[in-house]
Amino acid sequence: MTPQTILITGATDGLGRALADRFAQSGARLIIHGRSKRRCHEVAQEVSKASGNSQLEICVADFSRLRDVFAMIDQLRALTPTIDLLINNAGIGVEQARTITEDGYESVLQVNYLATYALSLGLAPAIKRACGRVVCVSSMSQAPIDFQDPQYENGWEGPQAYGRSKWAQVAFAAGMAARGGANAPSICSLHPGSFMPTKLVLGKYPVMDSLETGVETVWRVAHQSVSPDTNGMYFDQHGIALAIPEAYDASVQGKLLDLSAQLISKVPGNEIVGHWRDVLDSRAHRVAADTRK
């Protein structure tokens, strides 16, 4: 039996590192993503030694540079024709000050959401070919994007910026499921646990949930059967959960998909995101037009 191919972003630390151990033990062909080539190699060696699984590969990209994300898509397309599971785990936490990336975008929005959007759409054909799925590791901390100020130039606050980026992941998953149709891969989002002992939490907030809680949540959601009723849903450790209402609003989803396509299209190399960006963007425009009638 051919092993599953699983890509975990942000797999060199925290929850992603723990997920790498768990999925490697299952015998999967694992692709470990991180920002540092050295660290990716170290983690691959550690995970391989602990699990006895030699089917580990690495992929290096800094999500604060969308060109890196586009190059990562190109590399993965050459590496494997199919991907059974994409776990969008990479991200940054509550920052102390507003910064912008070299692409000109608010950093938390780009790293936590735009990279997820681009990677999910760019790899959608390989995921669909495997009848696979996309899992977006979000958070219960959610705040809708202000589409009048999507780059959060006015009144920036760290917790709110984080919440906006995590809400965008939830709304994107719901919107892709609603608009993607039968040819799109299944997708969902989840809250893995609260204040787990990761570098985003330690020394800043009291630890509440263990890494094992997060691993079990992702594992369960990744392996549960998908139906039209659950595709695009938001989960927590107890099952299907409720995100904030704006995540389910079709017109708001359309605005988010429209914004995402516009932002991505301004960065050279965006063509590799390709077909699904155009499909979702055009359907988002149709939903917006229908809503105005």
Instruction: Given the residues 162, 205, 234, 248, select the one marked as catalytic.
Output: 162
Tokens of residue 68, six digits: 């890196």
Burial class (CB in 10 A: 0-12, 13-18, 19+), 38: exposed
Q: What angle do CA 265, 270, 273 make, to 5 degrees?
A: 110
In the numeric block, the tokens 């630890």 are attached to 207
- Calculate Rg over the CA atoms of the chain: 18
29-34 sheet: strands from edge to edge: 56-60, 29-34, 5-8, 85-88, 133-137, 186-190, 234-236, 239-240
Distance CA 283, CA 80 (A): 29
b/e per residue 177-190 (b: at least 16 CB within 10 A): bbbbeeebbbbbbb
What phi and psi, each to the nearest 5 degrees, are found at residue 167? -60, -40
Distance CA 121, CA 187 (A): 11
Q: What's the maximum distance between 2 C-alpha atoms anywhere in the chain? A: 60
DSSP 3-state of 61: coil
Quick count: other Cβ atoms within 10 Å of Cβ 36?
13
* Residue 152 annotated as catalytic: no
User: Where in the sequence numbering do the catalytic residues fall?
Assistant: 162
